Amino acid sequence: MTGGDRVFYARGMCVRRRPIQEPVELLVDGERVAADRGEPVAAALLAAGRSLFGRSVKYHRPRGPLCLEGRCDGCLMRVDGVPNVMSCRVGAEDGMRVETQNVLGSARVDLLAVTDWFFPEGMDHHHMFTRFGPINRLMQKVARRIAGVGRLPDAAASAVAPRELDVDVLVVGGGRSGIVAANAAAREGASVLLVEEQQTFGGEAGLLGESVPVLGPPVDARRGVGAVAVYQEPAVGFAGREPTDEAVRWVLLEDAEGLLRVRCGSLVVATGTDPVPPPIAGADRPGVFSARAALRALQWGIAVGGRVALVGWGAALDRAATVLGPEQVLGPFAPTQVSAVEGRPRVEAIVVDGRRLPCDALVFDGVRSAAYAVAAQAGGEVAWDGRGFVVLADDDGRTHAPGTFALGRVTGRLFDRARAEAVGRCAAKGAGLAPSPPLVRPPPRSAPAPLPAQASDKIVVCRCEDVTLHDLEEAVQSGYRDIESVKRYTGFGTGWCQGKQCVALCGQMIASAGGDDAERPFTARPPVRPLALARLAKLVDEPEPR
Amino acid sequence: MSTVVCDPRDLPEDADVVVVGAGIMGLSAAYNLALEGVGRVVVLDKGYLCGGASGRNGGGVRSQWSSEINIRLMKRSLAICAEFATRMRINVWFRRGGYLFLARSSERAAQLARSVELQRAHGLPTRLVDAAECRRIVPELATDAIVVASYNPQDAVVFPWPFVWGYAAACRRLGVGIFPFTELIGIETDGRRVTAVATPFGKVRTPLVVNAAGAWSPEVARLVGVEMPNRPHRHEICATEPLKPFLKPLVAELATGLYFSQSMRGELVGGISNEQVPEGLDQRSSLRFLGLYARALTGLVPRLGHVRVLRQWAGCYDITPDGSPIVGEVDGLEGFVLLAGFMGHGFMMAPIMGQLLARYLLAGEEAELFARWNLRRFATGELLQETMILG
């Protein structure tokens, strides 16, 4: 992508920069929407000028896609009778039925949005309406009726048996670090499987237009395959597997067809980072995108806005500015300069140093959270490095878990070809390596970030569960000072992304509000991403007791 | 706003009672002791509030049991739960959606029939229902394999965490000191009776220690040389993405130990028996569990196939050899009281058990129960029986 590819955007609309190749029609809430066969449904909707995809779980605040990488709650819709589908993850097909969820009325006029208005300071759901029994019971009845997001699926799903794989080295993450490590391991003669969750290899470097190492031929490299969990247990009753007495490490992968159950000698984690949305009032509304999302959308041929405010810093943000073009962008502004993101429902302006600047999208980057879940589930240690949580690894990539390696930005380090090759060679030598040597501890936490200025609107710090900064502060004031307790008391990190987007920020905010320094994040529970029950139903084949 | 939990550096030097374990059992005991007038009550926990089984269970509260004593106690516990929100001023999302126990074999059906008869004799509205009625209660249920079911519309589910916070806050209002992250490292005696407990933050002199440490209670007892026969066993649970409410009761199936309910947030929360779990304080998740659970759940409710699991976790059941709790004094050691061994249902028992323990210790009430459930039964061989245990 070069500057010459720039297009002119109609103001306030996302626009296709490529004509549709294979036209199909989606049925979106009963209306026909043009799409290109196979492109993400979310992309087709954005291109059709739709930014409001649904409503948030608690306050029914407007939501739209934020990450376009299958991490956030922003693009959830009902697709062909299946609820809560991440519409950035499914390819458009002719006649596909796409429906808005969690609204009473329409997405635009959702009567339940009165909740947001009724609780301007946020909702103390622990203590509200507890004075009188009858009122309490009535409140619970109402709360139950409006709970949940999607309706039950229309029909049953057929169960799919998992596929089995055994490899010497499994590399999770097909960015530069993962590719170089996989190639190096293959050169040592190991059988290597490399999986990349997104549809393109190269990770962030690919999005930035930087050169991406070429994958060597012996590596079995698969796109669109994500790691969903890591377990350590004996194989008892596992369909298609010899039973084992000893605990074995199982990595569960998922592709478009179903699950792959993998036994590997070495696990190499190169999962990179996730962007963390800045804690700004109103920044949870549609039209706010991560810089990576903006670049991904451009790869799909779609610009996220006509006049885009940039907030934060970093290479991806710079790249987004370049590709969108200087006429289209404002900023970049420091997150602390921005006191509010305004608009109804999508972004219409941001307030910078007290001045209201009209725009129709906000693109952010800056704080990143290491995508540590796979490494943590494998037994790797995760710690605070002053900016976020990272996986602890030595120079050869060894983590605290024998046979599990980590490299690249998930460890808080930049790409380093020589180091990635060393890690690949080490992984190829197998899991028989001595347990990891003592690792250098990261530096102690630097001074906590200043809390954002008081704003009239809610500052949503956990989008999936509508948890506000105020909620975190209240938990700390009640004496729940550690990250596990605050998670439970507020519910942050318990939604679709399981904390991928918010745990680093919340860790910092808890400390700023007077709580404990979070030395590690809350337990990374499986699965790494939502996993359909039908795909799990044939993992075990022993007879079921009657 | 005063904080609910205390800083370990503020640990007092003296207490009238030290409760070990700030789970719902320990907090319920502490609250009721303070309510009955005990002045200085201290609760210690080695981790955070809700870190043990109280924060890891499925939130089921039922009176459908197979023994008279459990039926009687759970009726009273349910009554406390129903009033908890307004009494303690915290929402626990108590919802009487009922419990539907399914039987898929004639043996299980006979077992249910016996329990229903006993429950009805104790005034419960439990009834046996056929497959067609099961489908009326839960229209999404695949009922072809169901022989019969028992249904009590008065049984309920709650959200477990606020119970713990609610007891903690109420304890605080009564002056009880709750000390999380304060591990018990020793219990001192004069050879005949308890005199103090030791923590990394100092000693607390006390004549009375209540061991409410659940799956960790044998470890606590071992600090004073008392051997308890209960053992920890991992039990796993998972939660799905939130769905609009469709499921009224908690549904359970006796043969597989499957149970599931829909929480106030709309998630399906449930678990299943896993016979392959060895004894031990293991709180890791397993793939085998997900496989067993997904197979059983989608078999019973095929429309859930597309529904996604968001999170799985594990906690420890506190398993006794005869399925009944271990409560009351320990012969030969004055001032050491047990309140443990509640299998997988300590959470639902805690509201009533805390109350009974306080009245037993202070006024000698319910002596018969505390004798029957005493540790000494394992020495004398007078074991008990309860068959309606899930998981």
CATH number at residue A116: 3.10.20.440
Q: Which of A57, A494, A546 sits opposite B104 (nearest CB)?
A: A546
Q: What is the average per-residue pLDDT within A344-358?
A: 94
3-state secondary structure of A302: strand
| Nearest-CA distance A82 → chain B (Å) | 7
Kindly state the tokens that stand for A161.
Answer: 């048996």
Q: Residue A375: which region, alpha, beta or left (left: phi > 0; alpha: psi -120 to 50)?
A: alpha
Q: Do A364 and A329 meet the contact criterion of CB atoms below 8 Å apart?
A: no
**The predicted structure's pLDDT at residue A454:** 64
CB pairs under 8 A between A and B: 223
pLDDT digits (tens, 9 = 90+) for A448-488: 666 676 666 789 999 999 999 999 999 999 889 899 999 99
Residue of A15 and B117 predicted with greater confidence? B117
**Is A2 inside a domain boundary?**
no
B3 at interface of A, judged by CB pairs closer than 8 A: yes
Q: Which amino acid is at B199?
A: T
Q: Is residue A440 part of a domain?
A: no
Q: Do B295 and A147 touch (CB under 8 A)?
A: no
Chain B environment of A129 (Cβ under 8 Å): 91
Q: Is A383 inside any structural domain?
A: yes
B346 alpha-carbon distance from chain centroid: 2
Pairwise CA distance, residues B305 & A160, whole Å: 11
Which residues of chain B have a CB within 8 Å of the CB of A104? none
Q: Are residues A88 and A205 both part of a single domain?
A: no
Residues A181 and A227 reside in one and the same domain: yes
User: How far apart are the two ends of chain A, measured CA to CA in Å?
Assistant: 61
**pLDDT for A508:** 85
Q: Which CA distances in Å does B126 have to A46, B71, B98, B154, B390? A: 54, 11, 9, 8, 18
The shortest C-alpha distance from B268 to chain A (Å) reads 10
- CB atoms B244 and A125 under 8 Å: no
Q: Measured between beta carbons, which residues in chain B are less than 8 angstroms from residue A378?
A: none
Q: Both A176 and A44 in a single domain?
A: no
Name the residue facing B311 among A236, A238, A525 (closest C-beta).
A525
Q: What distance in Å separates residue B4's CA from the closest CA in chain A?
A: 6
B286 contacts A148? CB cut-off 8 A: no
Q: Kindly report, residue by residue over A221-271, the tens digit of the pLDDT.
A: 999 999 999 999 999 999 989 999 999 999 999 999 999 999 999 999 999
Give every CB contact of residue A25 below 8 A, 6+ residues apart in sequence: A32, A33, A34, A35, A94, A95
How crowded is the C-beta side of A21, counted as CA atoms within 13 Å?
A: 7
Closest by CA position to B294, among listed A251, A155, A529, A531: A531
What gap in Å lies between CA B75 and CA A252, rounded to an integer?
44
In a domain, A315, yes or no: no
Residue B384 confidence (pLDDT) above 80: no
**Same domain, yes or no: A141 and A37:** yes
User: Which residue in A57, A234, A537 is closest to B298 by CB distance?
Assistant: A537
Q: Across residues B327-346, what is the average pLDDT?
A: 96
From chain B, pick out residues whose CB is under 8 angstroms from the CB of A145: 245
Q: Report yes or no: B299 at the A interface, CB cutoff 8 Å.
A: yes
What's the whole-number mean pLDDT along residues B210-226? Answer: 97
Q: Cβ contacts (< 8 Å) between B6 and chain A: which residues?
A: 479
Which residues in chain B (310-369) have CB-CB distances under 8 A to chain A?
310-313
- pLDDT average, residue stretch B239-267: 96
Confidence of residue B147 (pLDDT cuts 50, 70, 90): very high
The CATH number for A501's domain is 1.10.10.1100
Q: For residue B245, which residues of chain A lie inside 8 Å, CB to CB?
A: 144-145, 147-148
One domain for residues A25 and A132: yes
Residues A382 and A450 in one domain: no
Mean pLDDT rounded to a whole number for chain B: 95
Terminal CA-to-CA distance of chain B, rounded, Å? 40
- How many angstroms separate the CA atoms of B290 and B236, rounded? 9
The chain-wide mean pLDDT, for chain A, equals 90
**Are A481 and A382 in a shared domain?**
no
Yes or no, beta carbons of A155 and B161 under 8 Å apart: no
A516/A509 Cα distance (integer angstroms)? 10
Put simply, the answer to whether B308 touches A531 (Cβ < 8 Å) is: yes
CB contact (8 A) between residue B287 and residue A539: yes
pLDDT at residue A110 is higher than 90: no
Q: Name chain A contacts of B140, Cβ cutoff 8 Å.
A: 152
Whether residue A151 is contained in a domain is answered as: no
Residue A12: the pLDDT is 47
pLDDT at B1 exceeding the cut of 60: no
Position A436 pLDDT exceeds 70? no
Among A27, A151, A149, CA closest to A465? A149
Which residue spans within A382-439 are E strands per DSSP? 382-384, 389-391, 404-406
- Beta-strand ranges (E) seen in A44-199 are 54-55, 62-63, 76-79, 82-86, 97-99, 163-172, 192-196
Confidence of residue B355 (pLDDT cuts 50, 70, 90): very high
Counts of helices then strands in chain A (DSSP H, E): 13, 30
Helix B24-35 vs helix B346-363: crossing angle, to nearest 10: 30
Q: Once rounded to an integer, what is the mean pLDDT over residues B128-157?
A: 96
Residues of chain A found within 8 Å of residue B291, distances taken between Cβ atoms:
237-238, 536-540
Q: Are A77 and A138 members of one domain?
A: yes
Residues A460 and A416 in one domain: no
Mean pLDDT, rounded, for B344-360: 96
Q: Could you tell me if residue A496 is inside a domain?
A: yes
- Tell me: do A221 and A247 sit in the same domain: yes
B1 or A176, which is more confident: A176
pLDDT at A10 over 50: no
A220 and A248 housed in the same domain: yes
pLDDT at A513: 84
Residues of A in contact with B167 (CB under 8 A): none
Set out the domains of chain B in order of their start, with CATH numbers.
8-55+161-230+322-380 (3.50.50.60), 97-156+234-317 (3.30.9.10)
Mutate to test the interface with B, among A59, A76, A126, A503 (most CBs of B within 10 A): A126
Q: With a cut of 50, say whether residue A379 has pLDDT above it.
A: yes
Q: Enumerate the β-bridge partners of residue B46.
A: none
Instruction: Out of B5, B241, B276, name the one closest to residue A530 (CB).
Output: B241
Does the structure show a pLDDT above 60 at A434?
A: no
* B380 CB within 8 Å of a chain A CB: no
Mean pLDDT of A489-497: 94
- Say yes or no: B1 contacts chain A, CB-CB below 8 A: yes
Chain A residues 409-428 within an 8 A CB cutoff of chain B: none
Q: A330 in a domain, yes or no? A: no
Asked whether residue B15 carries a pLDDT value surpassing 90, the answer given is yes
In the three-class reduction of DSSP (H, G, I as helix; E, B as strand; rest coil), residue B138 is classed as coil
pLDDT over 90 (residue A118): no
Å from A521 to nearest chain B CA? 14
Strand partners, A405: A268, A398
CB contact under 8 A, B104 and A152: no
Distance CA B168, CA B88 (A): 10
Q: Which of B308, B311, B312, B390 to mutate to test the interface with A (most CBs of A within 10 A)?
A: B308
Q: Which residues 163-202 of B are in CB contact (within 8 Å) with A?
A: 165, 180-181
Nearest to A545 among B242, B256, B305 (CB): B256
Q: Quick check: B90 and A127 CB within 8 A?
A: yes
Q: CA-nearest residue of chain A to B166?
A: A126
pLDDT interval class at A217 (50, 70, 90): confident
The minimum CA-CA distance between B67 and chain A, rounded to whole Å, is: 23
How far is the alpha carbon of A337 from chain B, nearest alpha carbon, in Å?
Answer: 31
As a whole number of angstroms, the distance between CA B282 and CA B307 comes to 28
Residue A169: domain span: 163-274+369-428
Q: Is residue A304 part of a domain?
A: no
Query: Of A116, A146, A176, which marks where a domain is finished?
Result: A146
Crossing angle, helix B160-173 and helix B68-88, to 10 degrees? 70
If asked whether residues A391 and A477 sit together in one domain, one would say no
B244 close to A (CB below 8 A): yes
Confidence of residue A183 (pLDDT cuts 50, 70, 90): very high
Q: What would the pLDDT profile of A32-50 be if each residue is shown by its tens digit?
A: 999 999 999 999 999 998 9
- Residue-level pLDDT at A376: 97
Average pLDDT over residues B169-185: 96
Nearest-Cα residue of chain A relative to residue B56: A488
Q: What pLDDT does A514 receive?
A: 84
Query: Domain tally for chain A?
Result: 3
Least reliable range by pLDDT among A69-78, A258-267, A501-510: A501-510
Is pLDDT at A5 greater than 50 in this prediction? no
pLDDT above 50: residue A70: yes
Name which of B6, B90, B295 is nearest A544 (Cβ-Cβ): B295
Mean pLDDT of the region B162-173: 96
* Interchain CB distance below 8 Å, B312 and A237: no
The answer to whether the CB atoms of A153 and B307 lie below 8 A apart is yes
- Return the residue of B nearest to A534 by Cα: B305
Q: Hey, what are A352's tokens?
A: 């910078």
What tokens appear for A495 in the block? Answer: 């939604």
Nearest CA in chain B to A140: B93
Identify all chain A residues contacting B306, using CB atoms and an 8 Å cutoff.
82-83, 153, 157, 532-534
Q: How many angstroms separate the Cα of B362 from the Cα of each of B19, B355, B357? A: 15, 11, 8
CATH of the domain at A250: 3.50.50.60
- Whether the Cβ atoms of residue A222 and residue A196 lie closer than 8 Å to each other: yes
Asked if the Cβ–Cβ distance from A133 to B264 is below 8 Å, we say no
Q: What angle do CA A333, A335, A337 make, to 5 degrees?
A: 65
Ranking A182-196, B2-16, B236-250 by mean pLDDT, the lowest is: B2-16
- Mutation target vs B (from A139, A377, A471, A488; most B CBs, 10 A cutoff): A488
